[in-house]
Amino acid sequence: MWHNLVKKQWMALTCAVLLLAGLQAEWCLAAHPVTQEKGPAILLVTFGTSVESAQAAFRTIEQRVKAAFPKAEVRWAYTSKIIRKKLEKSGTRIDSPEMALARLMDDGYTKVAVQSLHMIPGIEFHELCDNARLFGQMDGGFSKVMVGWPLLVSDTAMDKVLKEILTRVVPKERKADEAVVLMGHGTHHPSDAVYSAMMYKAQKTDPNVYVGTVEGSPSFEEIKEQLVQKKIKKAYLVPLMTVAGDHAKNDMAGDEPDSWKSQLTKAGIEAVPVMKGLAEYDAIADMWVEQLKVTIAHLQ
């Protein structure tokens, strides 16, 4: 029943998401002529994190990007105002995407590739596209500015990410009768359908692999109910996120009663968190780099 329901929801909702994303893609590139070209510069944009251990994912991304584009100017921006303010109090200043674009414009760059490091094309990605488009329309500013897609934007990308998680991220000692639960963030945007699509694909690959979300669908309650019904005794919890930040540390693996780990433990299921973000793995980080290569090519 769940399998058929998810399949129908996935097909309908994914069509809607891809339609919206396709329309939005027209806004991700803005251009007008300038007399002298400088760039392209690369702006890496993510939600951000204040968890020090999670920064390893960003370091991996930056290393892979600089290896692919050794002569390019590479800068960072966080979309989360809360994270930026928190880091500023500890002496670390990170720009918002808008401020970072303004600085690049002020520094004379005329071509900019903005690479989204988000998981799905949700609200933050579409806002990023809108604002990049507006920067590209300013007289005397950028000649071209283009936003690269997030990670999970195609059937092929979802299949590849799922394969990498099951072969590289999930511990080798995991047994066939033990569950793997991937934690996505979830969103009120139509792109939340991506998580249902990932759940559908996960179940087709391995009936003991699940995808849940903190704030969307499928919910953790749905996943927990299925684990209990199947009498699962052990489950590996894996962040379906760029970094193993606050959500992974607290909502997934925390000791509070409402964390996924605590709720599974209460249900008699041993929970084993895997505290690494997906961008810490070279093969997955390189998927964002490949998106960036396409974006750079369109700027030439």
Whether residue 11 is contained in a domain is answered as: no
Whether residue 5 is contained in a domain is answered as: no
Structural tokens at position 206: 């391995």
What pLDDT score was predicted for residue 53?
Answer: 83
Q: Are residues 42 and 184 in the same domain?
A: no
Alpha carbons 266 and 63: distance in angstroms, whole number: 41
Q: Are residues 161 and 256 in the same domain?
A: yes
Q: What is the CATH number of the domain that holds 186?
A: 3.40.50.1400
Q: Are residues 138 and 190 in the same domain?
A: no
Alpha helix stretches (DSSP H) within the chain = 2-25, 55-68, 81-89, 97-106, 123-136, 155-164, 193-205, 220-229, 246, 260-266, 282-299
Task: Tell me which residue of 251, 243, 187 sits closest to 44, measured CA to CA.
Answer: 243
Among 185, 188, 247, 298, the active-site one is 185
Q: Are residues 222 and 271 in the same domain?
A: yes
Tell me the pLDDT tens digit for each residue of 140-196: 889 999 999 999 999 999 999 999 999 999 999 999 999 999 999 999 999 999 999
Whether residue 138 is contained in a domain is answered as: yes
Tell me the pLDDT tens digit for each residue of 55-87: 899 999 999 999 999 999 999 999 999 999 999
Give how many domains the chain has, as a whole number: 2
HEC states along 182-210?
A: EEECCCCCHHHHHHHHHHHHHHHHCCCEE
Would you say the C-alpha torsion 167, 173, 178, 184 has a positive or negative sign?
A: negative
Whether residue 59 is contained in a domain is answered as: yes
Range of the domain at 49: 17-151+281-299
Largest Cα–Cα distance in the chain?
68
Q: Are residues 285 and 265 in the same domain?
A: no
Q: Are residues 48 and 144 in the same domain?
A: yes
Q: Is 185 a catalytic residue?
A: yes
* 40 DSSP 8-state letter: -
Alpha carbons 228 and 222: distance in angstroms, whole number: 10
Q: Are residues 136 and 196 in the same domain?
A: no
Q: What is the helix (H) or strand (E) element at residue 111, kind and residue range?
A: strand 111-116
* Residue 144 near residue 100, CB atoms below 8 Å: no
* Residue 118 near residue 125, CB atoms below 8 Å: yes
* Residue 224 near residue 267, CB atoms below 8 Å: yes
Structural tokens at position 70: 């050794």
What pLDDT score was predicted for residue 213?
Answer: 97
Residues of the chain with pLDDT below 70 are 1-36
